[in-house]
Amino acid sequence: MKTIILCLTFLFSSLVFAQTHSEVAELLKNKGLQDLQAYELLKDLISSVGTRLSGSEGYEKAVQWGKKQLELAGADSVWLEPVMIPKWVRGPVEKAEACVSGKTVELTICALGGTIGTPKGGVTGLVIEVHNFDEVKALGEKAKGKIIFYNRPFDRTKVNTGEAYGGAVNQRANGAIEAAKVGAIGVLVRTMTNALDDEPHTGMMRYNDTIMKIPAAAVSTIDANALSAMIAQEKNVSVTIQLSAKTFPDVPSFTVIGQITGSEKPNEIILVGGHLDSWDKGTGAHDDGSGVVHSIEVIRLIKFLKLKPTRTIRAVLFANEENGSRGGRAYAAFAKNTGEKHLAAIESDAGGFLPRGFGVSTDSIRFDKIRSYSSLLEIVGTEKIKKGGGGEDIGYLESLGTVMIGLNPESQRYFDFHHSNHDTIDKVHPRELEFGAIAMSILSWVLSQDGI
Amino acid sequence: MKTIILCLTFLFSSLVFAQTHSEVAELLKNKGLQDLQAYELLKDLISSVGTRLSGSEGYEKAVQWGKKQLELAGADSVWLEPVMIPKWVRGPVEKAEACVSGKTVELTICALGGTIGTPKGGVTGLVIEVHNFDEVKALGEKAKGKIIFYNRPFDRTKVNTGEAYGGAVNQRANGAIEAAKVGAIGVLVRTMTNALDDEPHTGMMRYNDTIMKIPAAAVSTIDANALSAMIAQEKNVSVTIQLSAKTFPDVPSFTVIGQITGSEKPNEIILVGGHLDSWDKGTGAHDDGSGVVHSIEVIRLIKFLKLKPTRTIRAVLFANEENGSRGGRAYAAFAKNTGEKHLAAIESDAGGFLPRGFGVSTDSIRFDKIRSYSSLLEIVGTEKIKKGGGGEDIGYLESLGTVMIGLNPESQRYFDFHHSNHDTIDKVHPRELEFGAIAMSILSWVLSQDGI
C-alpha cells in the first residue's frame, strides 16, 4: 500500500512540472497502462449495447452510450450531430446449397451488406468459378442465368494483411455489378480472409442503378474450397441461394462528438475518431469498438492528467462507416460550415491490436514534422510513421486541408475476425488495446500544443 | 491453377538468379508465408508429443520427434548429443487452503518447479504477506513457523512484459531461500503475470544446500488478491499447503541437433535454436514449442530453396532449459571440444508472437554489422536490432566469443500463458509464428554468407 501511495504522490506531483512532450508522453503511458480503461469501456459497450448496424436499435443505444461515456470521460462539451443513415436488414434467411450429381451439399454463407433478397425459393443456376473481372467479361453469353462464384484468395505473401484485403475486396464490392452485366442471376464471393474456417464474413457490396440488381453472399473459405473442388470434378454444379435481406428507407440518427476545448485556439481542431456503427455479425469488438474506445480514452487520459490543450482535442464517434459513410460525409459538411480549422484528424479503424505507428497523408513538410514525433512515440512502440493513411470517416476532410492520420496496428489477426461472428471481445487484449489509446493521446496532445 | 503454376515457375526460375541478400530474403518470406509450415510442425509436436518436462516420457518422445523432423526438413546431418538431465515430478497433489475466522477458503495453486513436497497433511502456519526480501529480513523472529506470501505484482507500466517479469521473478526463484533463512516453513508466490485470472503459473525455484528446504507454490493472481484482502481484514489467517512434488535422480537424455553443412567453411557455425523441453502444465506451445519449430523451419526453408550456405547453419533443440539448463551447458562444453568456431547463435525462447527484431550481445563492431541487416529484416517487420539479448541456452557460449542473438517477439500476451495450462496451440497464430522462422532464416542466411 505504501508503494502505491508513493507512486500516486509521485504521479500527481510530477503533473505540476510535466511540461516537455516526453514527460507528458510518459505520464499518459503510465496512467493508461495502470488503468487499462479502454478495455473496460469496450467490455461495457459490448455487454450493454452489442452489435450496432446503422438503422438498428443497437445503433441508437450506441449513440446514447457514446454520449454518456464522453461525458464520464470528462469532455468539456458533448453533442449529437444529426445525420440520415441507411437501414439494411439481413433478415432470418441466408442459405445456399450446391447440387452435384443429384447430391445436395449445404454451403455456409451470409448475405453481403446491401444485397437484395431472393424470391422465396431462392435463385438457382449452374455455378461458374472466376477469379477476376476479366474472366467474367470473357464469359459473355455463357454467364446468362448462371451464379458467378468469385474465388480469388488473399495473397498470403503480403506481409500486411490489409494489402491482401485490398487486392481481393473488389470481388465483394463490385462482383454483383460485373456479374449482372453479363446476365448472371446471383453471386457467391469467397470470404475476405487468410483464415481457413467455416465462418463467412459480411461487408459492403454495391449496385449500379443502371444495371440489374442480383443477390450476393459471402461463402466461408472452407466451403469456397469445397465448391471449387466440386466444380473441378463435375462440370454441372448448380447452386441455390436464399436471402431475406431488405433495404428500408433511411432513418435519422447521429454522430457523437465530445471535446476538450482548446485553451488558446479553440477553433483549431485536432480530431480523434472511430466509427460507432458495426456490422450485425459478432459484436464489432475490433471493428470498430476499438476505435470508439480509443477515442474516448484519449479524452479521459488528457482530462485525468489535468492537461490543458492549447487547441481543441475532439473525439468523433462517426455514424455509418460500414455501409454508406454518411457520418464521415456529414461531419465534413458540418466542419466546412463551422468556421473551425481542422488541422489534423487521427482515425483508429484497423482493430485494437498492438499499434506500430501511424500512416499520414499530407504534404512533405507536415509529414516530416509528424515524423519528428517518432522518437516520442517510441516509448509505446508506435514509432513507424509512414506516408499514406487515414481512414474512411476522416477521408472526407481532405478538401479542407486536414492532415489525415490513421493508427496502424498489427494486421496479422484482423481479417480472421473482420465483419464476422468471430469479432468478439475475447479477441481483444487489454494492454494491446490500451497502447492504441496512449499512442493517439500522445500524438493528439503534441499536435494540440505545436499545431501542424 | 494456371496462376499457381506461373508462380511456382517464377519461384524456381528466380532461384538461379537470386544472389543478393534481399532477393534471398524475399524468397524466404514468400515461401514461408505460402506454406506456414512452422504452425503445421507445432500442431504435430503438440498432438503427437504434448508436454515435455525433463525426465518425462514426453521429453523422450520429443527427442525422437525432433530428430525425425530435422531429417524431414532436409538437414544434411542430424544427431543426438547426450546429456544428463534432472527429473522432478509434480505428483497428483497440489492444494492450499486459507483458514480465516473458522472459515476455510480454497486457493488455486501449483507447485513451483523443483520444490520439495510436504508431509501428507501439508504444512500449516499463519501467513505473512511481503513484497520483497527486505520485508522478509525485517520479519526476523516473527517469521518462524510461518508461511511467507510473496505478493509483489508485475509493474504494469513496463511496456515490455519481459521487464515486468524480470522485476518480479526473484520472488519465485529465491523466495523459498530467503523465507527459510528467517525460519518460515513454506512459501506462496503470486503468479508471474499481468493477467488477472485463476490460473497459477509454475516455473523454476531454487534451494541453497546450506539452508533448510521449504515447499513453494504459485498462487493465481485472483487468489493472491483474495488472500491479500483476507489478511488486510483479519490478522490471523493461516494457510495449509499440500504438495506431492518429488525430485528423482538425474536421467540420461539428449539435445537434438541438425545442420546444413557449410559449403566452404563447414567448421564455422551459425546456430539457431530453442529448447525442446517444456513445463508439465499446458503444452508448451509458445514456451518453447515455437522456438523448436522456428529452428526446424529455418532448415526446411533454406533447403527447400536449394540455398547453399558458405558456413554451417545448425539447428539445436536444447534439452532441459526450464529446470536446470543442462542442455545449454553441455552444448557449450561440446562446442569447446569440436574445434569448430561458433560465430553466432540465434535463440527463439520468447514465444511465437509477431517478431519485431533481435537483441544482440557482442562488441560494438559486430553489433553495427548486424544492425546493418536491419533494412533487410524490415520486409518481415523484424528490423529492431537492440543491444543486449540472447537466450538461456546459448548464453553458455559467451566464453567462446560467440555473438549471442535473441529473437524479440511482441511481449504483451506471453506472460498470460507462460508456464501454465494456458500455453496451448490456440494461442499461437500461424502467420505470426512463421514470421519468426522467416526472420531467423534471413539472419542466419546472411551471417552464413558474410560471417561475423
- Residues of B within 8 A of A431 (CB-CB) are 156, 161, 194, 412
Contact A156/B33, CB-based, under 8 Å? yes
Task: Choose between B325 and A6: higher pLDDT.
Answer: B325
- Over residues B196-215, the pLDDT tens digits come to 999 999 999 999 999 999 99
Per-position b or e across A149-187, b if 16+ CB within 10 A of its CB: bbbbbbbbebbebbebbeebbebbbbbbbbbbebbbbbb
- The per-residue pLDDT of chain A, averaged, comes to 95
**Does the pLDDT of residue B1 top 70, yes or no?**
no
Mutate to test the interface with A, among B3, B196, B384, B412 (most CBs of A within 10 A): B412
Confidence of residue A340 (pLDDT cuts 50, 70, 90): very high
Cβ-based burial of A398 (10 A; exposed 0-12, middle 13-18, buried ≥19): middle
C-alpha cell at A312: 481543441
Q: Which residue in chain B is spatially nearest to A381 when comparing CA positions?
A: B159
Tell me if chain A has a CB within 8 Å of the CB of B383: no
Is the model's pLDDT at A95 over the cut of 80?
Answer: yes
Residue B13 confidence (pLDDT) above 60: no
Q: Does domain B17-86+249-450 have CATH number 1.10.3720.10?
A: no
Checking if the pLDDT of B14 tops 70, the result is no
A124 has which bridge partners?
A240
**A48 in reach of chain B (CB within 8 A):** no
Whether the pLDDT of residue B90 is over 80: the answer is yes
Residues of B in contact with A33 (CB under 8 A): 156-157, 159
Q: Is A381 on the interface with B (CB under 8 A)?
A: yes
Taking the Cβ of residue B412 and every Cβ of chain A, the question of whether any pair is shorter than 8 Å is answered with: yes
CATH number of B91-244: 3.50.30.30
**Distance (Å) from the alpha carbon of B351 to chain A's nearest alpha carbon:** 16
Per CB-CB distance under 8 Å, the chain A contacts of B30 are: 157
Q: Does B431 touch chain A (CB under 8 A)?
A: yes
Q: What percent of chain B has pLDDT over 90?
A: 95
The band of A113, judged by pLDDT with boundaries at 50, 70 and 90, is: very high
**Nine-digit cell at B185?**
516453513
CB contact under 8 A, A34 and B410: no
pLDDT of B35-85, one tens digit each? 999 999 999 999 999 999 999 999 999 999 999 999 999 999 999 999 999
Any B CB within 8 A of A422 CB: no
Looking at residue B402, the DSSP 8-state letter turns out to be: P
pLDDT of residue A14: 44
pLDDT digits (tens, 9 = 90+) for B143-166: 999 999 999 999 999 999 999 999
- Contact B173/A at CB under 8 A: no
Dihedral-angle region of residue A90 (phi above 0 means left; psi in -120 to 50 means alpha; beta otherwise)? alpha
Q: Is A229 on the interface with B (CB under 8 A)?
A: no
Which of B43, B159, B375, B417 has the highest number of chain A CBs within 10 A, making it the mutation to test binding with A? B159
Model confidence band, residue B412 (pLDDT cutoffs 50, 70, 90)? very high
pLDDT on residue A102:
87
**Closest Cα in chain B, distance from residue A86 (Å):** 37
d(CA A323, CA B112) in angstroms, rounded, equals 53
pLDDT at site B101: 86
User: Does the beta-carbon distance from B159 to A131 stay under 8 Å?
Assistant: no
| Angstrom distance (rounded) from CA B157 to CA B177 | 29
Q: How far is Cα of residue B197 from the mean position of the Cα atoms in its chain?
A: 22
Q: Please tell me the total number of residues recorded for chain B in this structure.
A: 452
Closest CB from A131, A159, A380 relative to B159: A380
Rg (CA), chain A: 23
Q: What is the pLDDT of residue A2?
A: 45
pLDDT band at A19 (very low <50, low <70, confident <90, very high): confident
Contacts of B7 in chain A (CB under 8 A): none
Percent of chain B with pLDDT over 70: 96
One DSSP character per residue, B99-110 reads: EETTEEEEE-EE
Question: Do residue A159 and residue B3 have CB atoms under 8 angstroms apart?
Answer: no
Nearest to B159 among A194, A379, A413 (CB): A379
What percent of chain A is modeled with pLDDT above 70? 96
**In chain B, which residues fall in CATH 3.40.630.10?**
17-86+249-450
Residue type, A270: I
Rounded Cα distance, A232 and A149, in Å: 13
Residue B327's pLDDT is: 98
Nearest CA in chain B to A428: B413
What is the 8-class DSSP label of residue B123?
Answer: E
CA A293, CA B164: separation in Å to the nearest integer?
26
In the numeric block, the cell 516537455 is attached to: A20
Is residue B427 less than 8 Å (CB to CB) from chain A? Answer: no
Model confidence at A235, pLDDT cuts 50, 70, 90, reads: confident
Cα(B419)–Cα(B171) distance, rounded to whole angstroms? 16
A16 pLDDT higher than 70:
no
- pTM of the model as a whole: 0.94
Chain B: closest CA distance from residue A279 (Å): 25
Whether B386 and chain A come into contact, CB under 8 Å, resolves to: no
- Say yes or no to pLDDT of A22 above 80: yes
Each residue's pLDDT tens digit, A24-70: 999 999 999 999 999 999 999 999 999 999 999 999 999 999 999 99
Tell whether the model's pLDDT for residue B31 goes beyond 90: yes
Under a CB-based contact definition with an 8 Å cutoff, are residues A28 and A445 in contact?
Answer: yes
CB pairs under 8 A between A and B: 51
Residue ranges, CATH 3.40.630.10, chain A = 18-88+250-450
User: Taking 80 as the threshold, does the pLDDT of residue B17 lie above it?
Assistant: no
What's the rounded Cα separation, in Å, for the pair A216 and A147? 10
Q: DSSP readout, B234-255?
A: -S--EEEEEE--EEEEEEEEEE
Question: Which of B3, B33, B411, B417 best tests the A interface by mutation, with the highest count of A CBs <10 A?
Answer: B33
Task: Tell me where in chain A the CATH 3.50.30.30 domain(s) lie.
Answer: 91-244
Give the position of cell 500512416: A359
Q: pLDDT tens digits for B215-236? A: 999 999 999 999 999 999 998 9
Indicate the SS3 state at residue B399.
helix
Just list the catalytic residues of A: 321
Strands, E, within A223-310: which ranges?
A: 238-243, 246-260, 265-275
Contact B431 A412 (CB under 8 A): yes
- Contacts A3 to B, Cβ<8 Å: 131
Q: Is the pLDDT of residue B16 over 60?
A: no
Q: What is the pLDDT of residue B365?
A: 98
User: Which CATH code is given to the segment(s) A18-88+250-450?
Assistant: 3.40.630.10
What pLDDT was estimated at residue A341? Answer: 98
Nearest to B431 among A30, A194, A435 (CB): A194
Rounded mean pLDDT, A257-274: 98
- CB of A5 within 8 Å of a chain B CB? The answer is no
